[in-house]
Chains A and B, each alone.
Chain A
Amino acid sequence: MRPIIRVEGLSKLYYLGGSGAAYSTLRETVMEVARKPLRYIRGVGNNSQILWALKDVSFDVMPGDVVGIIGRNGAGKSTLLKVLSRIVEPTAGRVELYGRVASLLEVGTGFHPELTGRENIYLNGSILGMTRREIEIKFDEIVAFAEVEKFIDTPVKRYSSGMYVRLAFAVAAHLEPEILVVDEVLAVGDASFQKKCLGRMRDVASMGRTVIFVSHNMAAVSSLCSKAMVLWQGQVEYPLGSVEGAVQQYLTQVHKITKMKLAERTDRQGNGRVRIEDFATFDSQGNELEYLATGQEIDFRIYYSSKENNVQNVSVAIGITSNSGSFVSMLSNQVAGDTFESIAHDGYFTCKIKKLPLMPGNYTAGLIIRSNDVILDWIQQAVTIVVEPGDFYGTGRMPPASHSGVLLEQEWTLNGAAS
């Protein structure tokens, strides 16, 4: 059997803007040219500012495969999808595609708010590569799938965000290419709609089409894909193979990186005015904890340092996700209380949880510090939080481990007790 997609030695090099923005003005170019001879003489290159978003990536995909591509942010997943979708050109290497490709890097590409649902179906469909005939044939099906029959002649700017997303996905879902390239579009919409989307993708796959799917959601990858691959800093870390193996590899990788000292982490975003230095957990007596227990009173501490003495309106958040990649909870002073008015050079933020409601298991937490809604420092998948069984209800009993999730305070009464 011959592959439908053949990727050989694919590499993509990015020059990270030395002068800030990637585009420039004439003035900057003129200045650059004037400076260049000097730089030439001094022998100072610009080489430090390069990034291999993809490096020597090779794999073959067979017709009918549903391939999951897993990796942390910045691992090169999106770049790979963009190259496969012909949006960006590779620096080296070669891709051969033996079928029509449709790529869904977002839903609703090219939707125009002023146009009606009907008009947008035609516009979006043609942008995604459908012919007018194809759109006409599928039109009723698309409208029914999106459940927007009543509003089909209303401008989409009047749609609710749910309707908008449904319509956008519906158009995309009715593409019939041989190869479908999908980027986490499933992260949109409500739960029932997500289910519908997953179902639709499964249908596409069962029709013998080839799907390439990128996601953070391990549960979705596990349930949807027949093969998977892990990327790490632009390179293939786990070659295309079993899904379980790839997911395991990814989790190990995440675990490894969360073991790194936060101060040494380089995969951070934000302007850096304030830096996250460390994260630790303490019990109510102030003892540092390595493992937490369900139901325990704990303090999360985020240690920071700042070059300035008076950063104002600071909000801090801890985003907790489960191992499978779905969001569990968000802890934020901005939501639960108030932003910190101003902070000194260094110190720590404490977030107290009176009674930890997480079921036993491993969780990953991302940390972010913002000031006036500008990101100062943000580390995704910063730490692993390990939760051990504990006595949440004070009864000595826990729900079965298979019923994972969170524990809620509850009270039960009975009306109709036999006397």
Chain B
Amino acid sequence: MKQTAPQTIPVATAISAENSQASGTTFHLPEEPLVVIQPSSKWNLINLKDIWAYRELLFFLTWRDVKVRYKQTLLGAAWAILQPLFMMIIFTIFFGRLAGVDSHGIPYPVFALAGLVPWTFFSNTITASGNSLVGSAHLITKVYFPRLIVPAAAMTAGFVDFALAFVLLVVMMIYYRVPVTAQVLFLPVLVLLTALFGLGVGTWMSALNVKYRDVRFALPFLIQLWLFVSSVILPSSAIPAKYRWVLLFNPMSGIIEGYRSALFGLPFDWPAIGVATILTIVMLFYSVYSFGKAERSFADII
């Protein structure tokens, strides 16, 4: 909480004229209040300076989430790898072998894993962020900090799992001798997109969850349905060209196809990635707006 005061003046000098008995402490009373508390106006919703001032809290909450998760569970960090690994095995058996999905000549297990790793990151992010505010009720009712940090920390904590799962993906690519091209350099952009889109949806859900506890039950169901339209199991090319435009409304489809293009050197679907980027930005703005609106009453409702 390092808030710098604009133009501070020493109290001692300011009051010396009227009160000679000033205490010896050198404390500077600023001209302008550091904080003004009043009913917030409609448009002054998110205070970025405030969030920046609390950036260390974001780090500590992330660190706590990761640490506690790995301390409490028997398998600890292994869960980050097991989840996509088992999904990959099941998908390979049912879709790769039985249904014979065309995976652009890439071995199906690697193809599926390249979709599952970002998908798991995304779905974990929206689940964790979505439940984060309600789960942090004891903090929210006791101490002030920018509330947006709570869903954001849930996302960054999930990023650690993502990094671990990515190691598995690299191992699998080496095992199946999938060649890597220069396109892999585009990967960080896709990771950022995944994180931001997950943050957007998760933040929105977390605010909704405070008001409507239905979200907790609806979310897992929504995620299951979402998986099937996100090009994780099938490439988007498996969908008839006539209907393929529908997938544009789901940024995750474009993003996941983007991962495959970057990793396997396949051609990028730029329109899909472009639309996904625009939708991600729209989602972020909308969720921050609706979060800010809800933020005012969190402590009253929770």
Contacts and interface: CB of A to CB of B under 8 A. Distances in A.
Contact of A1 (B19, B57, B141): B19
A131 B138 CA distance: 21
B56 A126 contact: yes
A24 interface: yes
B33 A89 contact: no
A94 interface: yes
B144 interface: yes
A95 B139 CA distance: 22
Nearest to A84: B37
Interface residues of B, number: 52
Contact of A112 (B3, B64, B214): B64
Contacts of B143: 85, 87, 103, 105, 109-110, 127-128
Residue of B1, B63, B302 most packed against chain A (CB within 10 A): B1
Contact of A129 (B1, B37, B71, B210): B1
B244 interface: no
Interface stretch (A114-122, A221-229, A313-321, A375-383): A114-122
The 6 A-B pairs of least Cβ separation, nearest first, read A208-B25, A96-B33, A129-B1, A86-B144, A95-B37, A126-B60
Interface string A169-189: 000000000100000000000
B212 A25 contact: yes
A25 B144 CA distance: 27
Contacts of A63: 11, 27, 29
10 contacts: A14-B300, A22-B301, A63-B29, A85-B143, A109-B138, A114-B72, A115-B67, A119-B67, A126-B56, A208-B25
Interface string A121-136: 0110011111110000
A90 B38 contact: yes
Nearest to A122: B60
B1 A112 contact: no
A374 interface: no
A91 B39 contact: yes
Interface string B247-278: 00000000000000000000000000000000
Nearest to B217: A25
B40 interface: yes
Interface of A: 1-2, 4, 6, 14, 22-27, 29, 63-64, 82-101, 103, 105-106, 109-110, 112, 114-115, 119, 122-123, 126-132, 178, 207-208
A101 B212 contact: no
A228 to B, nearest CB: 20
Contacts of B211: 23-24
A92 B39 contact: yes
Given A1-B11, A83-B37, A122-B60, A89 B297 contact: yes
Contact of A88 (B1, B23, B213, B299): B299
A26 B60 contact: no
Given A82-B299, A131-B56, A98 B29 contact: yes
B214 A87 contact: no
A97 B34 contact: yes
Contact of B23 (A86, A119, A208): A208
Given A24-B211, A115-B64, A88 B300 contact: yes
Contact of B33 (A25, A97, A112): A97
B289 interface: no
Contacts of A96: 33, 35-37
A112 B11 CA distance: 40
Given A63-B29, A131-B1, A131-B2, A112 B37 contact: no
B14 interface: yes
A130 B60 CA distance: 11
Given A2-B14, A23-B212, A132 B56 contact: yes
